[in-house]
A and B are shown apart, each in its own frame.
Chain A
Amino acid sequence: MPDDDYKLIGKSVPRIDARAKVTGEALFTADLKFPRMLVAKVLRSPHAHARILNVDTSRAEKLRGVHAVVTGKDTAGEKWGVFRYTRDQQLLCVDKARYLGDEVAAVAAVDEETAEEALKLIFVDYEPLPAVFDFWSAVAPDAPRIHDEYPRNINVEVKIEVGLVDEAFRNCRLVREDTFLAEEDSYFMSEPYAVVANCHADGSVEIWMPNASPHTKAKALSNALRLPLSQVNVRKITIGGAFGGRSDVFPAEFICSLLSIKTQRPVKLVYTREENTIATRMGHAMLTTHKTGVDKNGKVLARESICWLDGGAYSSTGPIATSVPFLCHEQAYNVPNVRFYGYRIYTNKPVRGMIRIHGRSFACGVDTQLDMIGEELGIDPVTMRLVNARRPGETTPTGSHVASCGLVECIEQTAEQSNFLAKFKKSVPNRGIGMGVNSVQTGFPLGIRGGSQAFIKFHEDGGATVISGVVDNGQGNDNMLVQIAAEELGLPMSEIRLISADTESTPTDAGSYSMISTFGGGNAVKRAAEDARAQLFEVASEMLEADPEDLVARDRKIFVRGAPDAGVPLPKVVRQALLLGRPIMGRGAFNPDVDQRREWIGNPSGQLSQAFSFGATVAEVEVDPETGQVKALDVTCAQDCGFALNPLIVEGQFEGSVAMGGQGGMLAEEHRWHNGHCLNPTMLEYKIPTIKEMPRIKPIIVETIDPGGPYGAKEAGMSVAMSSAQAYCCAVGHALGIYFNHYPLTPERIRDAIERKQESKGIKTAWDIEPARIIPPEPKS
């Protein structure tokens, strides 16, 4: 239970890394500089789909200042994939290029100019092949095949069925089928991707890069480079944002390492903003058809969802990406009978990964359709959501027990504080209010299902060093670990040092993707600190002649509860332990309690994640019907994050989530294409929000104290990002009396909907979109 007596936990303490960041001292990967360092550049395919007949690097190799050139020949045939069964990407193209930007060759030279000059001297013979750029043409029977072993370009197929779906539909008062489409979105983290690799005489390689899991990167590189894991040392570096886009392994780190090994010199590869967009990851375009049946009270009895995802050229996190949109909603809403078909489809476009608001069409579709049903039945949006909301103690259709859940509180509090019902019922022209509801996992498996471990050692003056594999992408994980350790050890945060995210010196950690860091890494550090504290208490109990059970560590002292003045200083205990030959060495490990037999495609059943967060967001907007422009006025967002370890940081996560999920994600952010060319790979043309259009945001922290989380904490922020997108979508719909089904809601889409809206049974919808269909299995050739 939360302890009012916490000294640091639950307090808005400033982040430990902030000072280095406001002075410019914090180093990001591109800031690193080493003696004799070379600069790398990558040659990318100018074709969306082409066979590579020959690569001639001889002239480039002869250019003065060029130290090495690498091509697909240097890959040793290894392919990368997050799962054993999705290994489909050569880290440098060997036989084929599958999207505009695919890595064909790379050079290391003395400077950037020389490296660029060298790229012009690499001659590649391509045989252009027909390409496909959207899921409809990719699944056509006569479509060109992007990977030989995948007929109809279906990369991943997930099927889930729980309950008696068809029977339940027959018993419904109302059944609706609607289709929702969302375009590709992107991360646009502030820092463009960069890698520095430094190969040493002993054969080991050090690598720096923004990443969401140093240990995962090291493992992949160890395979690809055929080096023992202990020889591949991913180092800690400040990271400029991830949002899901740094989780995977990219050709860049392989190429950079290879060039460093070849040249025996440090090599730096810094991506341009355009390369960061097209050659790391972006979000999936997604088409979702929901068939939902309800009883007379609006309670959903059955749902069938079919989802097509445009996956781009390679698998990446495909099985996860295909499943998660469905899983979030089987968590958020209690629907007893569900069927889900998910298809991730290859196209000749950049590779798609998981993103903070992954599944816009699925999620916005769920809430938009609930509002449609509510309108038909005369039930308001708040009631529609409350009737269906997940409650604690329940089990999801695929078998996850939900230990803590404050969704009802989130819905009620956002509704109340935004005065939702009064605003919803009182019609002000072009003003709208909408609510979104979502739930995300606090950690799910990606490749390996690892936990997290931590060590704590002490300095003679009583200060401590925490050693943890957790990585900080910018969200504040470093601070979280230190705040927890300081609380447990009774030390000020300033006396705790942190070694983290370094694969040589820190134990493993699952990575900071999938919202697991606080729950996994935080628990591990808490346990390590508890272990260290128990050892301290053992020694102190002898010094104080007291029972260790009665001792407290606080303010650099150990004392008998209630008698702080009679305690011993912590440094003295540390030194005494050394004298006694019982040095304090804290150890902690945490493995989330999940069902290890669960698998994304093969067995999507069992405990997925130990904890789930829940959120509700209300957005209020004003639409200019003449231009289609939307002004967001107020956003009220609530999330059950279990327990807010640091409310200042949690609020910051909520606010950032509103910007990315709602303001940008629902009103503006999409990639536009011309055949395989991304028309807007840059900051100027991809429309992430500026400070000017941000609405007032009211964050509400709901605490349910999850039994498994450190101090009861779960994931913080992600549920807001997703529910914000849904809230904005429903609010715009409410303002215009039109239900929108193609996202994001750009001004031109809104104008188009106003002109084309169609009415059926009193429900006005924007566009007729061809539904996502079940794709019949085809015999593998």
Chain B
Amino acid sequence: MQKHLLTMRVNGEQVELAVRPNATLLDVLREDLELTGVKEGCSEGACGACAVLMNNEPIRSCLTLALEANGAEILTIEGLATGGRLHPLQEAFVEQGAVQCGFCTPGMILSSKALLDRNPQPNDEDIKTALAGSFCRCTGYAKILEAVRAARDGDVGNEGS
């Protein structure tokens, strides 16, 4: 198997590396770039733990060949906070109690970010549609829904954390 050169921007930084054609984007992000905030929960696209944003769109990194990301802009959970300041969605997830075990959290937050970027005023149905492919086994989703609403409404930063 011949390795191919892969060039992409990951969390704002230009990355160039040689990858095997059969590597998924998940493999490269987790293993080569050590971005382990990208989680492998089911490996078949169903669980949403491996969600990252590719050119601002939510995708499943476990279902995407790394080479298909050539030239793309990738955002993982590690790239969301800027200068040590949490993104409003991250703050909202903390404050609203939307995080329990935390395994689904990166995918949930990134999917929510893509939604708010596309549609800054989503209603509950929009939020549910955007998060329907992300499974959470702990929360029953109630507080996740509340967190996205809070981020939408700018209702964050109340805990001084």
Interface residues in chain A, defined as those with a beta carbon under 8 Å from any beta carbon in chain B: 12-15, 17-28, 30-31, 33, 187-192, 238-241, 243, 270, 272-273, 473-476, 648-649, 651-652, 654-660, 663, 682-684, 688-692, 694, 697
Q: Chain B residue with minimal CB distance to A647?
A: B97
Q: How far is the CB of B12 from chain A (nearest CB, A)?
A: 15
Q: Is the CB of A683 within 8 A of B36?
A: no
> Counting CB contacts under 8 A, is B81 at the interface?
yes
Q: Is the CB of A690 within 8 A of B132?
A: yes
Q: Is the CB of B138 within 8 A of A474?
A: yes
Q: How far is the CB of A33 from chain B (nearest CB, A)?
A: 7
Q: Can you identify 7 A-B contacts, CB atoms within 8 angstroms?
A: A14-B97, A17-B102, A28-B39, A187-B137, A652-B97, A655-B143, A691-B134
**Contact of A19 with B86 at beta-carbon distance under 8 Å, contacts A189-B101, A190-B41, A475-B100 already known:** yes
Q: How far is the CB of A5 from chain B (nearest CB, A)?
A: 21
Contacts of A189 in B (CB 8 A): 101, 103, 137
Interface residues in chain B, defined as those with a beta carbon under 8 Å from any beta carbon in chain A: 30, 34-44, 46-47, 49, 76-78, 80-81, 86, 90, 93-97, 99-106, 109, 127-129, 131-145, 159, 161
**Contact of A14 with B141 at beta-carbon distance under 8 Å, contacts A684-B42, A684-B44 already known:** no
Q: Is the CB of A25 within 8 A of B37?
A: yes
Q: How far is the CA of A135 from the CA of B131 in the complex (A)?
A: 40
Q: Is the CB of B100 within 8 A of A652?
A: yes
Q: Is the CB of B101 within 8 A of A31?
A: no
Q: Is the CB of B101 within 8 A of A691?
A: no
Contacts of B138 in A (CB 8 A): 190, 241, 474-475, 652, 656
Q: How far is the CA of A684 from the CA of B135 in the complex (A)?
A: 11
Q: Is the CB of A652 within 8 A of B143?
A: yes
**Contact of A24 with B161 at beta-carbon distance under 8 Å, contacts A191-B41, A652-B139, A652-B143 already known:** no
Q: How far is the CB of A700 from chain B (nearest CB, A)?
A: 14
Q: Is the CB of A656 within 8 A of B140?
A: yes
Q: Is the CB of A23 within 8 A of B42?
A: no
Q: Chain A residue with minimal CB distance to B161?
A: A14
Q: How far is the CA of A29 from the CA of B137 in the complex (A)?
A: 18
Q: Is the CB of A683 within 8 A of B103?
A: no
Q: A24-B36, A273-B44, A652-B142 are in contact. List 10 more A-B contacts (CB 8 A).
A: A18-B94, A21-B102, A22-B77, A25-B78, A189-B137, A190-B47, A273-B42, A273-B43, A683-B47, A690-B132
Contacts of B41 in A (CB 8 A): 190-192, 273, 683
Q: Is the CB of B76 within 8 A of A24?
A: yes
- Of B37, B40, B131, B140, chain A has the most CB atoms within 10 Å of the CB of B140
Q: How far is the CB of A714 from chain B (nearest CB, A)?
A: 19
**Contact of A24 with B47 at beta-carbon distance under 8 Å, contacts A191-B101, A691-B128 already known:** no
Q: How far is the CA of A654 from the CA of B145 in the complex (A)?
A: 15
Q: How far is the CA of A689 from the CA of B96 in the complex (A)?
A: 21
Q: Chain B residue with minimal CB distance to A22?
A: B90
Contacts of A660 in B (CB 8 A): 137, 140
Q: Is the CB of B77 within 8 A of A474?
A: no
Contacts of B97 in A (CB 8 A): 12, 14-15, 648-649, 651-652
Q: How far is the CB of A716 from chain B (nearest CB, A)?
A: 13
Contacts of B137 in A (CB 8 A): 187-190, 241, 243, 656, 659-660, 688
Q: Is the CB of B139 within 8 A of A655?
A: yes
Q: Chain A residue with minimal CB distance to B91?
A: A22
Contacts of B128 in A (CB 8 A): 691-692
Contacts of A238 in B (CB 8 A): 101-102
Q: How far is the CB of A28 from chain B (nearest CB, A)?
A: 7
**Contact of A692 with B132 at beta-carbon distance under 8 Å, contacts A14-B161, A22-B94 already known:** yes
- Of B34, B102, B128, chain A has the most CB atoms within 10 Å of the CB of B102
Q: How far is the CB of B51 from chain A (nearest CB, A)?
A: 12
Q: Is the CB of A684 within 8 A of B93?
A: no
Q: Chain B residue with minimal CB distance to A273?
A: B42
- Of A18, A658, A660, A683, chain B has the most CB atoms within 10 Å of the CB of A18
Q: Chain B residue with minimal CB distance to A694?
A: B141
Q: Chain A residue with minimal CB distance to B79?
A: A24
Q: How far is the CA of A22 from the CA of B38 in the complex (A)?
A: 12
Q: Is the CB of A655 within 8 A of B102?
A: no
User: Which residue of the partner chain, among B76, B77, B140, contacts A694 with CB atoms under 8 Å?
Assistant: B140
Q: Is the CB of B93 within 8 A of A190?
A: no
Q: How far is the CA of A14 from the CA of B99 in the complex (A)?
A: 9
Q: Chain A residue with minimal CB distance to B37?
A: A24
Q: How far is the CA of A190 from the CA of B76 in the complex (A)?
A: 19
Q: Is the CB of B102 within 8 A of A683?
A: no
- Of A22, A239, A651, A689, chain B has the most CB atoms within 10 Å of the CB of A22
**Contact of A683 with B100 at beta-carbon distance under 8 Å, contacts A14-B161, A19-B161 already known:** no
Q: How far is the CB of B34 from chain A (nearest CB, A)?
A: 7
Q: Chain B residue with minimal CB distance to A272?
A: B43
Q: How far is the CA of A191 from the CA of B106 in the complex (A)?
A: 13
